[in-house]
Structure 1
Amino acid sequence: MANVNKKTKNEKTKDVVDEKSPGFFQKLFAWVIIPLLFVIAILLVIAQFTNTNVFEKATEVLPNNSEEEAKGSEEMEKKIVELKAEIQEKDAQIEKLQKELDDALAENENQKAIQEQLQQKIQELESGQEEAKKDLKEIVSTYEKMPAKAVAPIIVQMSDEQAVEILSNMKPETLSAVLAKMDPKDAARYTELLSTKENRSSNS
């Protein structure tokens, strides 16, 4: 019973203490808001005596966000214009280099085509030369089978170039026999022409 009474007494004491203890908002009001209002009141009184517009001063102190934003936007637009100009310049350079590359490739292809045409022509000439040599060899072989007495007058009727070409491809013994059946003047002339041809071949 004594314990119960003691507990009840303690609870009442606690309730009284709780009622007397100030709350958070009361502390905030007492320690922050009231002093702040007091300071503001003093500043307003001072401003009144000094003819100072507190609100204008506050406006001057606070940063002008609109001006800064406008300035930042202007700088950004300027940067964008510069970047666009730089990109266009790079595009122009790339286009120029691409054109030079295309021209070089086209020229290379043209040179390659010309080279192929020349190579084909050389092959055709070489093939024709082989055919001509073959035909000449057959003609010479035909003359070599004929009597020297019959070949000599035929050779004399040819142009010097044709005659020398045939005589230079004859076997030495056949050539001697044909020259022996010619007029001495003709034989001497062909001998000189054959010697000149041989010297040219040796020098080349």
Structure 2
Amino acid sequence: MDKPTIENEEKRYNKFQWFVFVVLIPTLFTIAIVWIVLSVAGINVLKVAEEKIPFIAESNKEKEKAQSSVQLEKQIGELEAKIQDREEETSKLEDLIDSRDEAIQRSELEKEQLEKEIEELRIAQDEDKLAFKDIIRTYETMSAKKSAPIITELGDDEAVRILSNIKADTLASIMEQMNPEDAARLTKKLTVNSEQNDSQAE
């Protein structure tokens, strides 16, 4: 009884040993040599295996898809953030442009208003000049006897202004009709006024 079981076990060990030495070790040795040769030749064995073996290729494709979808979502998020930033910048620029346009419109309105005021002042000044010329003509047509007392009753500045614009012969007649004190005072002021006008003209 003992002999057959020992023989059976030996046969089993012999078959296993034969499988290991004849099949398994040469196969592993061959795979290792092929791997080394292909690696030296520049071929990525793992990559080729991933492409050729179906379940590895599919799992890698799924991983790549998942990674690419995550990357795409990240890029979309970044682009949306950039778009929002650009929209905010555009809105700020539009507000700035609007405020500048309003400032330009205000300054144009102010300019128009100032031009109107200047024109009104020029018209008023022209009217004043015409009115003053009329006053001068009136004094020149009046007799010296009547105009002298009126001029002495005016303030000195107004009297000097009128007398400095009257013709010389009319001025002499009016001065003759004034009392000596008034004539002397106004003559002195006329002289000062004439000197100031001469210095300004220079």
Q: What range is the shorter-chain TM-score in?
A: 0.5 to 0.7
1:119 aligns with 2:119: no
1:179 aligns with 2:175: yes
Q: Distance in 2 between matches of 1:77 and 1:101?
A: 36
* Aligned pairs (5 A) from 1:57-96: 59-60=55-56, 63-96=59-92
- Mean alpha-carbon deviation: is it higher for 156-165 or for 83-92? 156-165
- For 1:191, the aligned partner's letter is T
1:103 aligns with 2:84: no
Percent identity reads: 36
Q: 1:125 to 1:62 in 2, by over 3 A?
A: closer
Q: 1:63 to 1:200 in 2, by over 3 A?
A: farther
- For 1:94, the aligned partner's letter is T
- Mean alpha-carbon deviation: is it higher for 158-167 or for 105-114? 158-167
1:157 equivalent in structure 2: 153
- For 1:162, the aligned partner's letter is E
Indicate which of 141, 146, 149 corresponds to 2:142. Answer: 146
1:130 aligns with 2:126: yes
Q: 1:2-38 CA distances to partner (integer Å, 9 max, x unpaired)? A: xxxxxxxxxxxxxxxxxxxxxxxxxxxxxxxxxxxxx
Q: Distance in 1 between matches of 2:115 and 2:192?
A: 32
- For 1:111, the aligned partner's letter is S
Runs of 4+ displaced beyond 6 Å? none
- For 2:169, the aligned partner's letter is E
Gaps of 5+ in 2: 1-22, 29-52
Q: With structure 2 as the length reference, what TM-score do the two structures score?
A: 0.66
Q: Distance in 1 between matches of 2:197 and 2:95?
A: 51
Q: Distance in 2 between matches of 1:199 and 1:111?
A: 43
1:10 equivalent in structure 2: none
